Amino acid sequence: MQKPRSSKAGHGSVEGGRQHLLAEPRRMKILEWLQEEGSARVRDLSAAFAVSEATIRQDLERLDADGYISREHGGAYLRSIPQQVQSMSLQHGQNMDRKKLIGAVAASLVRNNETIIIDSGTTTTQFAENLKSRQELNIITNALNIALILGAIPTNTVHMPAGQFKAPTLSLSGEKSAEFFVGIYAEKLFLATAGISFEAGLTYPAIGDIYVKRAMVKAASRVYLLADSTKIGKVSFSSLGGVELVHTLITDNGITKADREAFERRGVEVLVAD
């Protein structure tokens, strides 16, 4: 399968104040949506991307032909979902070498007996794998796989919110999950993102996660963003807020000098894993 090329903001025209992506960037964002949510209805995609349902059906037909999704009446779903849930593993494995380095650096910032929040995602999963030597951690996470990794350590306490199960990210999400974090205090949040830019901020493929991520940010004294350098400059569908929400960015040595300086001018500490 040939992967659609990654897209950034500005691909397409703007009508009535809404951006209309060209076909290939739009299909890439639809695929990102499905990789995050597992499934989607044609009418929801049509409204989100401000194109006709007929256009969305054509996009889904192409993604189906390329082997990424399976179409169903009124929508589509990601083909890898059943195997992913059965194995309790995340399937998006791009840039894993970078993510492992980032996870190790992030874990070095955690001390025994701390209360921490861990977001779902492939990079935060690598972070969790590096926490196995810590003791007496009080962990709050919306990720089932991370709960299993760290809950297996007898001295740890793991808390999980309620919410809607999202198979592609093995996570719980939505407004019910967000409510769990009201009144919670944690020293540190280790947050994931699909894209980060100085214009759009921290962005994600779907709207549902914004509620819980915003609640996580409010519950934490310090926010660490775990993002490999390929996500810098990338814009996904919905924005959590500006980069100023983050105290520290942990990334890899692919970050440019200009980008690093731009983060630091905005008050964001940058730690480079290499």
Could you report how far apart the first and last alpha carbons of the chain are, in Å?
31
Classify strands 220-226 and 186-191 as parallel, antiparallel or unpaired. Answer: parallel
Q: What is the mean pLDDT of residues 45-58?
A: 88
pLDDT of residue 266: 96
**In this model, does residue 239 exceed pLDDT 90?**
yes
What is the H or E stretch that residue 223 is in?
Answer: strand 220-226
**What is the reported pLDDT for 115?**
98
CA distance 136 to 16: 54
What local confidence, expressed as pLDDT, does residue 86 receive?
Answer: 54
Condensed to tens digits (0 to 9), the pLDDT of residues 81-131 reads 665 555 556 655 678 899 999 999 999 999 999 999 999 999 999 999 999
> What pLDDT does residue 90 have?
62
In terms of Cα–Cα distance, which of 231, 185, 176 is closest to 208? 176
Tokens of 36: 């995050």
Token pair belonging to 198: 């100085």
Instruction: Show the 3-state SS of 95-109.
Output: CHHHHHHHHHHHHCC
Better pLDDT: 34 or 253? 253
Q: Which residues pair with 243 in a beta bridge?
A: none
Q: What is the CA radius of gyration of the chain?
A: 18
pLDDT value at 72 more than 50: yes
Checking if the pLDDT of 37 tops 90, the result is no
Select the highest-mean-pLDDT range: 16-20, 72-76, 164-168, 228-232. 228-232
What local confidence, expressed as pLDDT, does residue 81 receive?
63
Contacts of residue 232, Cβ cutoff 8 Å, sequence gap at least 6: 196, 197, 251, 255, 259
Specify burial of residue 200 (Cβ count, 10 A radius: 0-12, 13-18, 19+).
Answer: buried
| Average pLDDT over every residue of 224-230 | 97
Q: What is the pLDDT of residues 131-140, one digit of tens each?
A: 999 999 999 9
pLDDT score recorded for residue 76: 84
Which is nearest to 190 in space by CA: 144, 134, 137, 128?
A: 128
pLDDT at 17: 33
pLDDT band of 21, cuts 50, 70, 90: low
Q: Report the alpha-carbon distance of residue 40 to residue 55 in Å, rounded.
A: 15
Q: Which amino acid is at 199?
A: E
Average pLDDT of the chain, as a whole number: 86
Q: Which pLDDT score is estimated for 4?
A: 40
Q: What are phi and psi of 131, to 5 degrees?
A: -95, 5
Looking at residues 182-209, what average pLDDT do you find? 93
Distance CA 134, CA 148 (A): 15
CB 56 within 8 A of CB 46: yes
Give the distance from CA 27 to its chain's centroid: 18
Q: State residue 13's pLDDT score.
A: 33
pLDDT of 22 > 70? The answer is: yes
Report the C-alpha gap between 195 and 202 in whole angstroms: 6
